[in-house]
Structure 1
Amino acid sequence: MTTALPAAPVPGLSATLRAEFATWRRSAVTYLPLGGLAFGLVNTAMFLSTGPGKDWKDVLGYQNLWAMFVGPMLTALLVATATRIDDTARGGATWYRPVRPPYRHLSRFTVLALRSLLLNLLGAGTPLLILGLMNGAQRVPVDRAAEAVLVPWAAQLGMLALLLWLARQTPWAVVLGAGFVWTLLGVVNAESASWTVLPFTWLDRGALPVIGTHANGVALEAHSALAGASPWPPTLLGALLAVPFLLLPRLHLPAARAARQRTAPQQAAPGAATAAGPAPATAAHARPGRPRVLAAVAGTLRGTSLTWLCPAAVALIALWLSWHDPDTSIQLFTLLVLPIGTLVLALVAWGAAGQGWRAVASRTTGAARPALALTGVTTGIAALMSVVIALVYLASGIPAGHAWPLALTGAVVGAMLTSFTLWLSIRTSQSVAVVVGIIGILFGVLVGGTGLQQTLWPLIPYSWANYLDLHRMALTLPVGVAATALFTFGITHAARKAAENS
């Protein structure tokens, strides 16, 4: 006769919360708030480069980029990163444990909310502290400094809860895209007269009277209604928006459930090629000992989103040029499309190839040759896209003397940025690469599109494609080629480590 074991007790809220904190210890979720520190330090340097004679109101106004875009996007990236890690690890088996779903959801929200608080403290607090210590005239009053940190964070809680609920039924890329759309809608409509009924405006509305600017960064006029408005009504609305999404149950979508419970990659079809060489069914058509590494690596990208993103980028430029002057629209490509495209290109490439990298390294080719092939394919795509888009500009009417510097500089800088992001993704993580890329692109736009480029352009490689004069090209082109070679060397070493650690 056997005796049934007593059922294990269901963990309570405190135990679930402790387990959730332990889950993310030493993970990318823990280290992501350091992106706020990096932005704060760079933002401080940018403020100091504008010259002396500023007071604490100017310091607060310089927080516009953080409050309106960078802070919300990094908070969205926190949720997307946690979702990606959770999906890859299949929840670390917690999906199948006797844990109450509301407790798990509330614990995840609490952990990410505290990470978001640290993110805002580092991103907004670092410049306020450094500049205040350096100069008494720039020392922000304590109450305004606290509001500059707490108001954006509290307003982001509703978006965080929304994205966290969305993450329960969609992939991490959808979560990040939804965060971008929510942030963009908030910036565009922050000063709308109907802000009380537009939840996405609550993300930014409260921060405007605190930092003293319009949503576009222009200082508020003395007679502006926002200048004397209280920041707390929209901020509290933004925070209270979290409540319904914390109580909302998960949607039971068959497709999402199947994707989350997938325990193994699909078995390769007979005759399919791998990154290390042809499959046995096709090995008879290849010479023994000569695996077609380059073709195999290129094949891994065939079914990815690059197959439509690349034509879409060309179509976007062509559509834009159909009603804008091409000579004044070159910055659309050099400061936005090219940097964003190289970031997406490297992330998609490593996302496709990195899943089976340990198996790749175990083949006779090792990890170095496939890594070199992956670098060559991705940098080649970046360079080719630059040439094609330069031809689109040429067909739209820019002189040939402007087209060839655009093609050459775009190809070199595009290859450099692609290899850098690819190396960073392999060496650290895709989350870190996204943070660095977003910050770099923002500062590239800030420097390359304003008068700051006169002094700061050598320090921001993300804006180098915008400098098409021979004097600056004499620096950007050789440095870009050398940097691409250096990152390629680093990619081969990082790829070996990735195979060992996977």
Structure 2
Amino acid sequence: MSTAAATTRRARLLRAELLRSHRTFTWGSLAVSLAMAVYCLVLAQAARLNGLYDDGGQWDGNILAWLSFYPAAVALPIGALTGAMAEWREQRWRYGGTAWRPVPAARSTLARAAVLVLAALAAQVVLLLPVVAHGLLLGQGLGPAGRYLPFGLLMWVGTGGAALLGALACRLLGGVGVGLAPAVAFVCCVAGAVGAESAGWQLRPWTWLMRGSLPLLGVHGNSVPLEPGSPVWHWPWWPSAVLLTGLFAAALALLVAVPERSLGGRGRIRRLAKAGQIQPRRQGHGVSTSRPVFAALPASPRLSGRRRPLRALLLVLPWGVWSLLAVLMVAFISLVNALYGSGTALSVLGLVCLPVSATVAGMTAWSAQSGARRGLLLRERVGVLDAVTLGLTTVFLSAVATVSWVAAGGSAAAVSGLAPAHMLLVAPWVLLMSTAAAYAVNQLAGLATSVAVAVFGLLTSLVIAGTEVLSEALWPAAPWGWGQVVSTAPGRWVLVTGLSALLAAAGLGACVLGGRSAALRAGT
């Protein structure tokens, strides 16, 4: 085969994979980058206009420093989620018949990896374009291109590698990798931000992305702007780029080496040994390969009889998984209380544990019943099913939050007259709101979008609700952290309760409006 013909075949394969990725989270993840850019721009301008932040005369309100939240919390989890969802989608579709193409498995994997890398590049373009456009609109020119262009390159390599590692995790672990990959990536982001300025960072891969970003964005590892004359300004960024490129190459090699996984992990996909050769599956004696033909069935009427949605959902919801996670949450809060005191434990509970537990419960509550949703709708209305689901989930989470609050030393703090008692007062409403949001997004937009929204919500909780100066003026923009907001400003508990109930009702209403179409999609 000539070189031109081989190039044409590769181009056709890449074009086919690009077409197959159309209208999937691979490209839908670009919305996260756009939302991150808009979020940082709004946050920077709001903080400056309210006198909460001095930009020091930097370009565009020192927006590059605000962009440090992207590598510190968002870039790697979303990259890993994109790769994991792409691989999980292929497994659920049984690779869409591509195993029968006269194309080697390694070449197909490389084409899919190229699509992920192109999506990672597009994500960085979408992140930086609004920032540069905003600077031009303010009449401040293109700004320090020598800083944000290398930053974009660094993010491209880092998120591309995270996407490949996410796909590898899903290929090895199946559906478990979809949740595990972004969770591990988020932990790596936090650990990287903590250890980016420490000695020996070269031996800790989770610090590479943040280490190279510090001099480019002009921040410390905790996103505090660098002081004039700080030695961090002079740190080179290219060693991080080289190390991340090596990690990228290793992830790509491993992804190509690991064979494709069939649905459920029961075997590996068999491919054609030669071009044009057909290998039919083995079949047992008496098994027909012809497709059965069914007569058209009339629409099933709503079944009569006594309705028991509460009992049905009690049997469906994943109580075992929730109980295990609840035990881990209480143990974690107890450990933080023992090591750092009740103040830190209560902050971790309000900023991290409450929103994360509600998000996980909301997503898994829908996933547990999505397959049987069409059958459930034959016996009960959509609104009743969703309301009972959210009610059961909130009651369980409220009980766990109460135990965690006691483990964090909240009762002792309340006796001493501190505000954490108000956190316990509004916790059921904040949990209801967060659970309804995760449940509705997972039902209407899919698991990947729900995880992306959860990561973004957790970031707002940590940045706004976790900073007393920003929380004073911007707390309505951080609903996931309203439990912590009330603990520091108890006078807002009535307003937080009302807003949480209103947002929960909006989430329930969205589920009612789109519940039937979601049930049809889940049942196909």
Indicate whether the TM-score tops 0.5. yes
Corresponding residue number in structure 2 for 1:15: 12
Specify the alignment match of 2:181 in structure 1: 175
- CA distance 1:376–1:288, change in 2 (3 Å): same
Change (3 A) 1:391 1:185: closer
Amino acid corresponding to residue 294 of structure 1 in structure 2: L
| Aligned 8 A contact 2:116 2:164 in 1 | no
**Aligned mate of 2:247, from 241, 244, 247:** 241
Q: CA deviation at 1:68?
A: 2.6
Matched, 1:390 2:405: yes
Q: Structure 1 pair 182/471, CA: closer, same or farther in 2 (3 Å)?
A: closer
Q: Is 1:376 matched with 2:395?
A: no
1:312–1:260 CA distance, 2 compared to 1 (3 A): farther
| Contact map agreement 1:151 1:235 (CA 8 A) in 2 | yes
Structure 1 pair 304–13 and aligned structure 2 pair: CA distance change class (3 A)? farther
User: Could you tell me how far 1:72 is from its partner in structure 2?
Assistant: 1.9
Alpha-carbon distance, 1:19 to partner: 1.7
What is the TM-score of this pair, normalised by structure 1?
A: 0.84
Percent identity, please: 24
Aligned to 1:66: 70
1:356 aligns with 2:372: yes
Structure 1's 160 and 297: CA in aligned 2 closer, same or farther, altered over 3 A?
A: same
What is the distance in 1 between the residues matched to 2:125 and 2:262?
A: 40
Match of 1:453 among 466, 471, 485: 471
Q: Which residues in structure 2 correspond to 1:460-479 (within 5 Å)?
A: 460-466=478-484, 467-468=486-487, 469-479=489-499
Equivalent residue, structure 1, for 2:30: 33
When residues 317 and 294 of structure 1 are mapped into structure 2, their CA distance, relative to the original with a 3 A threshold, is same
Matched, 1:111 2:123: no
Among 79, 85, 92, the alignment partner of 2:83 is 79
List per-residue Cα deviations over 1:195-226 (Å, max 9, x = no partner). 33443333232222211222222333555443
Task: Tell me which moved more, 77-86 or 93-102.
Answer: 93-102
CA change 1:89–1:359 in 2 (3 A) is: farther
In terms of mean alpha carbon deviation, does 323-332 or 146-155 score higher? Answer: 323-332
Mapped to 2, the partners of 1:343 and 1:260 lie a distance apart of 33
Partners of 1:184 and 1:452 lie apart in 2 by 21
Question: Number of residue pairs matched?
Answer: 466
- Out of 163, 166, 186, the position equivalent to 1:163 is 166
Unaligned runs of 5+ in 2: 1-5, 50-54, 270-302
- What CA distance in whole angstroms lies between the structure 1 residues aligned with 2:149 and 2:31? 20
- Give the drift of 1:345: 1.0
Deviation at 1:259, TM superposition (A): 7.6
Change (3 A) 1:329 1:180: closer
**How far is 1:94 from its partner?**
2.8
- Compared CA separation, residues 327 and 159, structure 1 to 2 (3 A): closer
TM-score (norm 2): 0.81
Contact 2:346 2:405 in 1 (8 A): no
Q: SS where residue 424 of structure 2 aligns?
A: helix
Distance in 2 (CA, whole Å) between partners of 1:357 and 1:259 is 29
Instruction: After superposition, give the CA deviation of every residue in 1:93-125 in whole Å (9 maximum; x if it has no partner).
Output: 334544312112111111111111222222344
Q: Which residue of 2 aligns with 1:284?
A: none
Q: Select the residue among 400, 425, 440 that pairs with 2:442.
A: 425
Contact 2:317 2:365 in 1 (8 A): yes
- 1:119-145 Cα offsets, whole Å, 9 max, x none, are 222234423431442252x85223323
CA shift, 1:193, in A, is 3.2
Paired letter, 1:204: M
1:335 matched residue in structure 2:
351
The alpha-carbon deviation at position 184 of structure 1 amounts to 3.8
2:372 counterpart SS class? helix
Counterpart selection for 1:24 from 21, 25, 29? 21
Q: 1:97 to 1:169 in 2, by over 3 A?
A: farther
- 1-structure distance, mates of 2:410, 2:214: 43
In 2, Cα distance between equivalents of 1:245 and 1:482: 45
Distance in 1 of aligned mates of 2:252 and 2:381: 47
After TM superposition, list the pairs within 5 Å mapping 1:73-472 onto structure 2.
73-95=77-99, 97-136=101-140, 140-171=143-174, 172-248=178-254, 249-250=257-258, 257-258=265-266, 289-302=305-318, 305-327=321-343, 329-361=345-377, 363-365=378-380, 367-393=382-408, 397-400=412-415, 402=419, 404-450=421-467, 451-466=469-484, 467-468=486-487, 469-472=489-492
Give, in whole Å, the separation in 2 of the partners of 1:490 and 1:457: 24
Q: What residue identity is the alignment partner of 1:193? A: A
| Range with greater deviation from structure 2 (395-404 or 84-93) | 395-404
User: Which AA in structure 1 matches 2:165?
Assistant: L
Aligned twin of 1:281: none
What amino acid is the match of 1:160?
A
- Match of 2:458, as an amino acid? I
What amino acid is the match of 2:47? T
Amino acid paired to 1:460: A
Aligned equivalents of 1:20 and 1:356: distance in 2? 32
Is the CA contact (8 Å cut-off) linking 1:131 and 1:139 kept in structure 2? yes
Alpha-carbon contact 1:66-1:124 (below 8 Å) kept: no
Look up the equivalent residue of 2:446 and give its one-letter code.
S
Equivalent AA in structure 1 for residue 393 of structure 2: T
Q: Secondary structure at the match of 1:109?
A: helix
Structure-2 separation of matches of 1:32 and 1:14: 24
Contact 2:259 2:268 in 1 (8 A): no
Deviation string 1:311-357 (CA, Å, 9 cap, x unpaired) is 21122222222343324532211111101111111111112111332
Which shifted more, 55-64 or 22-31? 55-64
Q: Does 176-185 or 65-74 show the bigger shift? A: 176-185
Letter in 1 for 2:131: P
Matching residue's letter, 1:29:
T
1:231-260 deviations in Å (ceiling 9; x for gaps): 223213312322233223116999973188
Q: Cα distance 1:322–1:245, how it changes in 2: closer, same or farther (>3 A)?
A: closer
- For 2:407, the aligned partner's letter is V
Q: Assess if the C-alpha contact under 8 Å between 1:342 and 1:414 holds in 2.
A: yes
Secondary structure at the counterpart of residue 50 of structure 1: helix
